[in-house]
Amino acid sequence: MSAEKGPKHGLILAVNAGSSSLKISLFKRDGASSESPHDVVELLLTSTITNISQPPALFSFQPVAHSEGREAKKEPVQTIKDHATAFQHFLDYLKREASIDRSEIVHICHRVVHGGDYFEPVVITDESYHYIERLSDLAPLHNGGALSVMKACISELPNANSIAYFDTSFHRTMPQHIAMYAIRQDIAKKRGLKKYGFHGLSYAFILRAVASFLNKAPTDVNLIVMHLGSGASMCAIRHGKSLDTTMGLTPVSGLPGATRSGAIDPSLIFHYTNRAGRITHDRAAAVDVHVTQAEDILNKRAGWAALTGTTDFGTIVREMNAVEARRDKGEEVKEDEGKWKIAFDLFLDRILGYLGAYYVKLGGEVDALVFAGGIGERSIELRDAVVEKVKCLGFALDPQANLEVDKHEGAVVDIGKPKDLRRVLVCRTDEQLEMAKECAMDPKFWEE
């Protein structure tokens, strides 16, 4: 089923469902063309709903112009219970407090983490909805939320097209031998068992933004990008295309996250859950570990939350710094207080392992290291630690620039010392804007 074409200046709603959050941006299409990918959409407003799984949810609403509605900042909302009710609250607020007619919304772009064999944006129909639904087990923290918002959109905005944009699409260019696992390929192909990669909308935005910053065509750019947040991944980009990425069949592989384990020995889960309480191959001590239980442990009960008790990486850094300051003064530090630095060092180690591998895969031809995501954009200490370790590769940090990222506007900030070769950049990624741009530039969605 093809999309109903919208009027050329219609509104685009971009929706990004996280595991416990919902980010929404409303754009106006503004003279878009595939030859001119910059400034093809105009941002009208943004809204963020957080703490959906830990009520009360917090609702924020930020119009670009005051005439477009009343601002709200982290207002607690008791009626929000899930992603669907979060989106409903946004629509109610839009109708009540904003001057925008929601009937002008012609396309709704949904970020979908796992697209399986869908490599291009797809209009949501019964067929595509159920296909994405079947993939939810591979991305349990995200696909379910996206699907519930799609349902709400179809119900509340029936005249708008709901269009799915997939995080996996960006990585379809990975060579076969990189995407392949060393298992029987007849079974692998039948069941779709391969590396898909994720955070693709973020990487697409970063590639476009960094190429523009470097005054290069995207096809001329080689990057090592670190999307570091509660869900963390890295990507090697060669000539503007994904060469390799850390996440695999599901987002649980690769770097550890707030509640994800990252890459582990596959047999660990069986020893983790057995009755023996130790490593053993005694069948009598084995427990039937269903895939749902394994996914739950590795997706939701691991990561730095399992190491420290908090999902907030900023808290980990602050506690680590406080403990180290006390240690430097000669004060007593309890053994348990070392957990903060261990969690930080573990994350750093895993980042460096992939960074070094990607540097070699790119033959040392790297235009920039790019930090992105909530942690990548905000953690001064982590950026400093990473770049300090890769000085041997020719990268260097400008300490003052690293401290003052928040003082600079724009999508890309240069925090490196050499300004001509080995660049170190911070990119404020925006998955909603990326979807809106892709939608605005796609002629099949618009009237002439």
Which residues are known to be catalytic? Answer: 167
Dist CA 6 CA 11 (whole Å): 9
Dist CA 433 CA 424 (whole Å): 23
Name the strand (E) or helix (H) holding 16: strand 11-17
Question: Tokens 């999307």 identify what position?
Answer: 227
Dist CA 400 CA 389 (whole Å): 18
242, 358 Cβ separation under 8 angstroms: no
Q: How many CB atoms within 10 Å of residue 99?
A: 10
Q: What are 17's strand-pairing partners?
A: 22
Q: What are 416's strand-pairing partners?
A: 397
- One DSSP character per residue, 132-145 reads HHHTGGGSTTTHHH
- One DSSP character per residue, 356-397 reads HHHHHHTTT--SEEEEEHHHHHH-HHHHHHHHHHTGGGT--B
- One DSSP character per residue, 212-266 reads HHTT--GGG--EEEEE-SSS-EEEEEETTEEEEES--SSTTSSS--SS---S--T
Q: How many CB atoms within 10 Å of residue 161?
A: 22
Name the strand (E) or helix (H) holding 57: strand 57-63
Give the tokens for residue 86.
């979060």
Dist CA 136 CA 134 (whole Å): 6
Dist CA 325 CA 321 (whole Å): 6
What angle, rounded to 10 degrees, do the helices at 83-97 and 143-156 form? 40
Residue 322 CB contacts under 8 Å (≥ 6 apart), including other chains? none
